[in-house]
Amino acid sequence: MRYYQLADRPDGRLIVETDSQSYDLTAIDPWLTSVRRLLNKAHTSEQSIDAYARQAIASAEPLSDADQQPERALPVRADEIWAAGVTYEISEQAREEESDMPDMYVEVYDADRPEIFFKATPSRTVGPNEAVGIRADSKWDVPEPELGIVLYEGSIVGYTIGNDMSSRSIEGENPLYLPQAKVYDRCCSIGPCLQTEIDDPRDLTMSMSIHRDGDCMYEDSTSTNKMVRSPDELVAAYVAHNAVPELAVLLTGTSLVPDDTFTLQPDDQIDISIEDIGTLSNFVVSV
């Protein structure tokens, strides 16, 4: 099932989409304004969120198409977002090329311990159709389209799409600058929904396009089957010796890297799609 957040009411509105219909969970229970609240209720009644939602919508009327038009907002307001790195060969090769210290990327790609880094707080995270940032002190900037794992109390509850916005010039100058290359205003986008029914997260088609003034500057697709780590392995590394917050997102690394001649500019339009989840669209601003 797909869970969407709408922002057309002050407290928000939570929509669930089943195979064939959409339902307004907030209209059914006014307390259910967010995915977090739904997870809280499901957790208290020892049910999965899908079981809880199915019960809630059992006797409700589905929404008409017109009711579903309002803009979709950030679907999961995670307490923190972390990200895995160098989980695909193409990412390892790109870092090797951009860095004066390439060996460390080869080593982490092959190592038992994955690279996991802190990516964003809620204040730095945007939702669908909002602006993502490129740093004004960076010369080379890219989006990183990534499958996002949504975790409640450290356990996987579903998947989403994430954009790990990155400064390649700052990271390339010195790997110790990674936090500055990765964590800044509007550095992360999440959306368009929380999808709880993914059969195999390691077999999803993912694509990204970047448009500038109506021209396509980049377009490519890949599959999560090229990931060298499993979601379970990445989650195990994230929760190890780490009291994680109630709601978190863990991004799983990028497998789509534009040519080295490409850098983002303000007003560029980024569209990232993952099979069974949907499309996350954002435009770029300088921050």
Residue ranges binding ligand DO4 (CB under 6 A):
83, 85-86, 91, 95, 115, 144, 164, 178, 253-254
Closest distance to ligand DO4 from the beta carbon of 34 (Å)? 28
* Tokens representing residue 152 in the block: 């409640």
Give how many residues touch Mg ion by CB under 5 A.
Answer: 3
- Provide the minimum distance between the beta carbon of 274 and Mg ion in the complex, in angstroms, as a whole number: 15
Residue 184: name the closest of 258, 139, 118, 115 by CA: 118
User: Closer to ligand DO4 at the Cβ: 157 or 187?
Assistant: 187
53 vs 78, beta carbon nearer ligand DO4: 78
Give every CB contact of residue 282 below 8 A, 6+ residues apart in sequence.
126, 128, 129, 130, 131, 132, 143, 163, 189, 269, 270
CB of 285 to ligand DO4, least distance (A): 21
How many other CB atoms are found less than 10 A from the CB of residue 200?
Answer: 9
The site string for Mg ion over 239-268 (x = CB under 5 A, - otherwise) reads ---------------x--------------
Closest CB to ligand DO4 among residues 12, 258: 258
First vs last Cα of the chain: how many Å apart?
Answer: 35
What x/- string results for residues 116 through 155 when contact with Mg ion is judged by CB under 5 A?
----------------------------x-----------
Residue 283, amino acid: F
**What's 283's DSSP letter?**
E
Q: Which is nearer to Mg ion, 17 or 164 (CB)?
A: 164
Map the footprint of Mg ion across residues 157-196, applying CB under 5 A: 164
CB of 94 to ligand DO4, least distance (A): 8
Q: Of 164 and 171, which has the nearer Cβ to Mg ion?
A: 164
Pick 57 or 237: Cβ nearer ligand DO4: 237
Indicate whether 222 belongs to the interface with Mg ion (CB under 5 A): no
Asked if 42 and 54 touch (Cβ cutoff 8 Å), the reply is no
Cβ–Cβ under 8 Å, residues 89 and 109? yes
3-state secondary structure (DSSP) of residue 280 = strand
Q: What string of H, E and C letters represents the secondary structure of 84-134?
A: EECCCHHHHHHHHHHCCCCHHHHHHHHCCCCEEEEEECHHHEECCCCEEEE
- Minimum distance from CB of 161 to Mg ion (Å)? 13
Q: Give the footprint of Mg ion on this chain (CB under 5 A).
A: 144, 164, 254
